[in-house]
Structure 1
Amino acid sequence: MMSERLAVKLPGLDLKNPIMNSSGAVFFGLEDKGYAIEETGALVTKTVTMSARAGNPQPWIINTPSGILNSVGLANPGIEAVVADILPAIHEKYKTLPVLASVAGETVGEYVALTERLTATKQVTAIEANLSCPNVDRGGMAFGVTAESAAEVIHAMRAATTLPIYAKMSPNVTDIKPIVKAVETAGADGIVLINTVVGMSLDLNTRQARLARGTGGMSGTSVHPIAVRFVYETAQTVSIPVIGVGGVSTVDDVLELMMAGASAVQIGTALAGNHQVMADIIRELPSALDKYGFSNVEEVTKTFKK
């Protein structure tokens, strides 16, 4: 059966297929924009912080010839609104669809408090620890660029919940291997990578940065080879599963990340241009498995031949 061919089992997550949105790509999945989230393996929420955040000064997002640069700055309504209103609405709309709640704190204590609040709702399937946002002054990527700080966050979160913890890591590092190994040792159940690559774009007429904050996170097809490399290096380093993300817009992009070592794949920027891209890829997966000689999607993971 097709459902059995596409199913993926991860720690705490039974996915009907390996496709999900990346954090922020569909906000909280409650707006009717035709993303076909109900057809995917899971919903990943917008990153939630302790207090509501308005985000960075506009403009937040600009197009470049290489992809999209964003500097949103974790805009979100804050944990109280998410717990009181948003999670119940998600549960009502999507019923049994697994929900990964993305969180980010300015301190280790905030990561713990967010974890405790979300765990208590019993409406979250897993927690994605955002250790990699490049667009905030405190927290985010600051925790994910060294093994010590990343491990400290995950260790503290692990003590605060029995839910699976997936650590979302940054590509803006010299060597990802010691960092993901430290995160695994600290108690993470899985790794998600990559987040955006720090970049910058200048207006030649004004001689100023096109983004109000100056730098931003680059996403889109140009970062896909970078994501493949990071997924491969991570999968060779840790024994916990990897969720790949970065520049995915086709079914072949999905299979490439899975061959490199991913067990599931998140899609972000491509949704802006094609709201149906996740549904399209899910529909195309069986034929792609046949084309490349796989009986089911789980067989694809780590089949790269060095």
Structure 2
Amino acid sequence: MTHVTENNSPKAASVSLGRGLDLRSPVLLASGTVSYGEELDRLSNLDRIGGIVTKAISPEPRTGNPPQRIAETPCGMLNAIGLANVGLERFAEEKIPFLQKLDTGVVVNIAGKCIEDYRAVIERLDDYAGILGYEINLSCPNVKGECMIMGVSSSATYEIVSKLRAITQRHLMVKLTPNVTSISAIAIAAEDAGADSLSLINTLVGMAVDHRTRKPLLKNVTGGLSGPAVKPVALAKVWEVYNAVSVPVVGIGGISSFTDAMEFLLVGASAVQIGTMNFVDPDIGETVADEIEAHFSDPANPSLKEYVGSLIVE
């Protein structure tokens, strides 16, 4: 079953993820890689993509983990940023005015230590115009003892999503971790609790060391692995979840080209998020969005609605 629905946009690749999250393109930029949009807006036309997912917001400002907190790896990157962010009040006062000027979809990523943290952010932001939905981060692997605990438990996932569903009519996108025994079980719990869509995967737990100094490259020792190295894992998880739930799936993990994005759509993603590649090529979202639009504008090709989840398994 495909989750893409047609809307009134003339764009061939426009997509609705439900509950008001209507996008001109299935290409979004992932949380943590575009800050709050201002920096990237100077380098790329954000109005040409489907939308951006902001850096995670927590009720209080966070400085994050101490450096070194980024390390390059073969075909990827490790990060242990630790959800550093400006906090809820500065976000509302300083960042939302810019986001409201964008002609693109805005989804706010939310993280916290407990359900009350997530609730506080949503209750503060729910009256602001210009926000289409919230990405509920239950899966950060480099913040010890916080959101990751909820993201690895079906019951905890159900509890937090159901409580957040009760306080907002905006789109709820739940971000899933691959660092679990059964990602489909977590996905089903989130869907049952009222999630409108699921985004996956968040980073894999990884580490890097220097054999000469006999020390880890990250001060946190471990961090989240992202980039092209994780794409095969991400594709498998998206396919698994797509076949387990009825809500739309948003694919994340190592997307660096039109071909990568098309592969995620093929295995069941209704939309995709581009992350690590934004650090390499700030125009990547715009480029991929344009190529996807051109592809689905060609009458010789299947429509986006027909293409999503059309993987042939014999």
Listed as ranges, the gaps of 5+ residues in structure 1 are none
Alignment of 1:64-103 (within 5 A): 64-92=73-101, 94=102, 96-103=103-110
AA paired with 1:253?
D
Find out whether 1:22 has 2:30 as its counterpart. yes
Q: More displaced, 10-19 or 289-298?
A: 289-298
Cα displacement (A) at 1:268? 0.6
TM-score by length of 1: 0.95
Find out whether 1:255 has 2:236 as its counterpart. no
Cα displacement (A) at 1:205? 1.1
For 2:107 and 2:198, how far apart are their aligned partners in 1?
13
Per the alignment, residue 4 of structure 2 pairs with none
**Residues 16 and 41, structure 1, Cα contact 8 Å, conserved in 2:** yes
Q: More displaced, 136-145 or 183-192?
A: 136-145
AA paired with 2:49?
T
- Per-residue deviation, residues 26-51 of structure 1 (Å, max 9, x unmatched): 10001244133221111211000111
For 1:226 and 1:77, how far apart are their aligned partners in 2?
32
For 1:105 and 1:271, how far apart are their aligned partners in 2?
25
**Residues 2 and 286, structure 1, Cα contact 8 Å, conserved in 2:** no
**Residues 46 and 101, structure 1, Cα contact 8 Å, conserved in 2:** yes
Partner secondary structure for residue 217 of structure 1: strand
Per the alignment, residue 283 of structure 1 pairs with 290
For 1:155 and 1:291, how far apart are their aligned partners in 2?
41
Listed as ranges, the gaps of 5+ residues in structure 2 are 1-7
Partner secondary structure for residue 162 of structure 2: helix
For 2:107 and 2:199, how far apart are their aligned partners in 1?
12
TM-score by length of 2: 0.93
Partner secondary structure for residue 253 of structure 1: helix
AA paired with 1:278?
G
For 1:73 and 1:160, how far apart are their aligned partners in 2?
27
AA paired with 1:13?
L
Per the alignment, residue 196 of structure 1 pairs with 203
**Residues 27 and 51, structure 2, Cα contact 8 Å, conserved in 1:** yes
Find out whether 1:219 has 2:226 as its counterpart. yes
AA paired with 2:136?
A
Report how many aligned residue pairs link the two structures: 304
Coordinate RMSD, CA, aligned: 1.8
**Residues 100 and 129, structure 2, Cα contact 8 Å, conserved in 1:** no
Cα displacement (A) at 1:185? 0.4
- Per-residue deviation, residues 158-216 of structure 1 (Å, max 9, x unmatched): 01111110000001011111110010000100000000000010111111110000000
Per the alignment, residue 129 of structure 1 pairs with 136
Cα displacement (A) at 1:297? 2.3
